[in-house]
């Protein structure tokens, strides 16, 4: 079956959406499906990463001008860099020859209008990877890997379109490296700490966290910071390396990293389920509104320790 995955990465969006789509693409390919990616260069060129993973990629035109979203669009519409109408029409044109049976969309910028136009023009089914539930999705299936007491209620705005829903961490799109993970060894004293603040970390929370860990645990604790080349502060992080602070960039997966440290400090998002799968003790920090409804109940359940931080850097909890 021909499948197209429409997703983007940028400093603002991060790289997590692309990462989970690559894992999904690997699984689909292993089952005999033909997968093509469709992305737009929003300051981070996804094409090399997709090609290195062995997949074809079609590139949509980069935005020509600064984009201002209209009032009647989803809260994250500006993340697309263009209007939903332009993105939909360019998507349809790009996929005209491919004629995919399924389009998988992993993008907070688009709602039912984008879905309806693409579905009607291409004649495909649409699957949305979405953990927000903040806009109506005219799709056949919603995959929401986040914890929720009631996914039907969470996505109630999409009920008129009657999508099927696969909800909860059971459906998290993790690397196969997590399937045969060794049992995590809990250490009474954290001799080392891992820090992963997402693929882009535009505010350089990684350096701040490293300083906080050093202050709290002393000079002898080894700290490993993991990030990607999409991080605009990667050169700054390289400059603070020493014999007790390591830096790893563009790891193929994070399973071994989450396994090798006594404590993890990191942002919410998809990495929450990777750390949980390993069983790594975690201090998780919410840097986005959609992190809070997930991390707070996980804190109550004892899965992790939760610290919230608003945009200005004020700590909550």
Common-topology check for domains 2-173 and 178-316: yes
Q: Where are the domains of the chain?
A: 2-173, 178-316
Going by C-alpha positions, the residue among 170, 167, 168, 232 that lies closest to residue 197 is 232
Going by C-alpha positions, the residue among 92, 27, 104, 34 that lies closest to residue 60 is 92
Give the pair of three-digit tokens for residue 52: 């290195």
Query: Which pTM was predicted?
Result: 0.91
Predicted pLDDT at 183: 86
For residue 58, what is the enclosing H or E element? strand 56-60
Predicted pLDDT at 171: 96
* Angle value at C-alpha 40, between 254 and 138, nearest 5 degrees: 90
Successive 10-residue mean pLDDT values, the chain, 317 residues: 97 92 97 98 91 96 87 92 97 96 98 98 97 97 94 97 97 90 88 94 94 95 95 96 96 93 94 95 88 90 82 37
Predicted pLDDT at 234: 95
CATH code given to domain 178-316: 3.40.50.2000
Query: Is 3.50.50.60 the CATH classification of the domain at 2-173?
Result: no
Give the pair of three-digit tokens for residue 317: 């909890």
């Amino acid at each position: 079956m021909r499948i197209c995955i429409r997703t983007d990465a940028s400093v603002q969006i991060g790289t997590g959406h692309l990462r989970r789509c690559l894992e999904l693409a690997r699984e689909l390919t292993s089952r005999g499906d033909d997968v093509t990616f469709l992305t737009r260069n929003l300051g981070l060129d996804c094409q090399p990463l997709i090609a290195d993973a062995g997949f074809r990629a079609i590139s949509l035109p980069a935005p020509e001008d600064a984009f201002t979203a209209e009032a009647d669009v989803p809260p994250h519409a500006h993340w697309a860099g263009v209007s939903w109408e332009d993105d939909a029409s360019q998507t349809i044109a790009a996929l005209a020859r491919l004629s995919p049976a399924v389009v998988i969309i992993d993008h907070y910028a688009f709602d039912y209008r984008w879905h309806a136009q693409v579905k009607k023009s291409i004649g495909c089914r649409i699957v949305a990877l979405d953990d927000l539930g903040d806009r109506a999705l005219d799709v056949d299936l919603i995959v929401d890997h986040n914890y929720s007491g009631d996914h039907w209620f969470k996505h109630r705005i999409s009920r008129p379109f009657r999508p099927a829903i696969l909800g909860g961490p059971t459906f998290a799109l993790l690397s196969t490296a997590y399937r045969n993970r060794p049992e995590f060894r809990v250490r009474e004293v954290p001799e080392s700490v891992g820090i992963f603040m997402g693929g882009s970390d535009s505010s350089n929370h990684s350096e701040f966290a490293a300083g906080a860990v050093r202050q709290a645990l002393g000079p002898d604790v080894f700290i490993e910071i993991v990030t990607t080349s999409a991080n605009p502060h990667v050169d700054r992080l390289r400059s603070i390396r020493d014999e007790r602070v390591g830096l790893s960039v563009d790891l193929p997966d994070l399973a071994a990293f989450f396994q090798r440290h006594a404590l993890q400090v990191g942002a919410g998002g998809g990495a929450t389920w990777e750390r949980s799968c390993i069983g790594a003790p975690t201090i998780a920090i919410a840097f986005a509104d959609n992190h809070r409804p997930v991390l707070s109940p996980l804190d109550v359940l004892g899965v992790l320790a939760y610290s919230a931080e608003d945009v200005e850097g004020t700590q909550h909890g």
